[in-house]
Amino acid sequence: SAVISQKPSRDICQRGTSLTIQCQVDSQVTMMFWYRQQPGQSLTLIATANQGSEATYESGFVIDKFPISRPNLTFSTLTVSNMSPEDSSIYLCSVEFLETQYFGPGTRLLVL
Amino acid sequence: GENVEQHPSTLSVQEGDSAVIKCTYSDSASNYFPWYKQELGKRPQLIIDIRSNVGEKKDQRIAVTLNKTAKHFSLHITETQPEDSAVYFCAARGRNAGNMLTFGGGTRLMVKP
């Protein structure tokens, strides 16, 4: 399996600020994804992080709000920009490794 | 795009009983169906998956069945234990979906001792 770490594990932020979440995987992977999980809800795909090109965003998510970097095959960042309380959620990094999708431990974000 | 419906949203069983969670999907091209277990405050963990070329797969107390004609698949947990209590998510991935999984809404399973 792939071992995924995320930083930070949790944060409390003021509205209007931005937070960058880092995701590191212990194997080179082609596919990396970012999900949001609101309390008691299912997993919603934000975007697919493509190495060497722009991320592919799902309906309802835009690059200005959630810029993503993917500098290599083991690392990605997601920034939550100009935060509002509605952005309070858990953000999960995910990778596909050997045709199986694994999840990172998540970043729990609270915006005040 | 793919749409996955999951039922029930909550399920309470007595320890030792069986639990069944059902999902339907909309895209007939979907060919991969994983199930994830998420304990409180933890990440989703893959517990079993099935591909469209088989109808059933079993791993100890857990089994998954797939009916491609009806476009539904189910998770069966036998001899449930309190540690099976968690939220379970089904998912489906279509051939043309760019390797993306579409998740069901989740089932909160409570196993009462």
Pick the residue from chain B with its C-alpha nearest to A33.
Answer: B100
The residue among B97 and B39 whose pLDDT is bigger is B39
**Residues of B with CB below 8 A from A106's CB?**
43
Q: What is the pLDDT of residue B20?
A: 98
Average confidence score pLDDT of chain A? 95
Q: What is the pLDDT of residue B82?
A: 96
**Residues of B with CB below 8 A from A42's CB?**
89, 103-106
Q: What is the pLDDT of residue B1?
A: 78
Instruction: Give the CB-side neighbour count of residue A75, counting CA atoms within 13 A.
Output: 6
Residue B98 DSSP code: T
Instruction: Give the gap in angstroms from C-alpha B74 to the nearest C-alpha of chain A.
Output: 18
Answer yes or no: do A41 and B106 touch at CB < 8 A.
Answer: yes
Contact call for residues A108 and A9 (beta carbons, < 8 A):
yes
Q: What is the pLDDT of residue A82?
A: 98
pLDDT tens, position by position, B12-33? 999 999 999 999 999 998 999 9
Compute the distance between CA of residue B79 and CA of residue B20 in angstroms, rounded to an integer.
Answer: 12
Q: What is the pLDDT of residue B59?
A: 95
Please count the other Cβ atoms lying within 10 Å of the Cβ belonging to residue B98: 10
pLDDT tens, position by position, A63-98? 999 999 999 999 999 999 999 999 999 999 999 998
- Paired tokens of B12: 């309470």
Which one, of A102, A108, A107, A109, lies nearest residue A25 by Cα?
A102
Instruction: Give the gap in angstroms from C-alpha A103 to the nearest C-alpha of chain B.
Output: 6
Q: What is the pLDDT of residue B88?
A: 98
In this prediction, residue B94 has a pLDDT band, given cuts at 50, 70 and 90, of: confident
Q: Is the dihedral of CA A94, A97, A102, A104 positive or negative?
A: negative
State in Å, rounded, how far the first CA of chain A is from the last one. Answer: 37
Compute the distance between CA of residue B19 and CA of residue B83 in angstroms, rounded to an integer.
Answer: 13
DSSP string, A64-86: TTS-EEEEETTEEEEEE-S--GG
Position B97 pLDDT exceeds 90: no
Please count the other Cβ atoms lying within 10 Å of the Cβ belonging to residue B27: 18
Compute the distance between CA of residue A50 and CA of residue A72 in angstroms, rounded to an integer.
Answer: 9
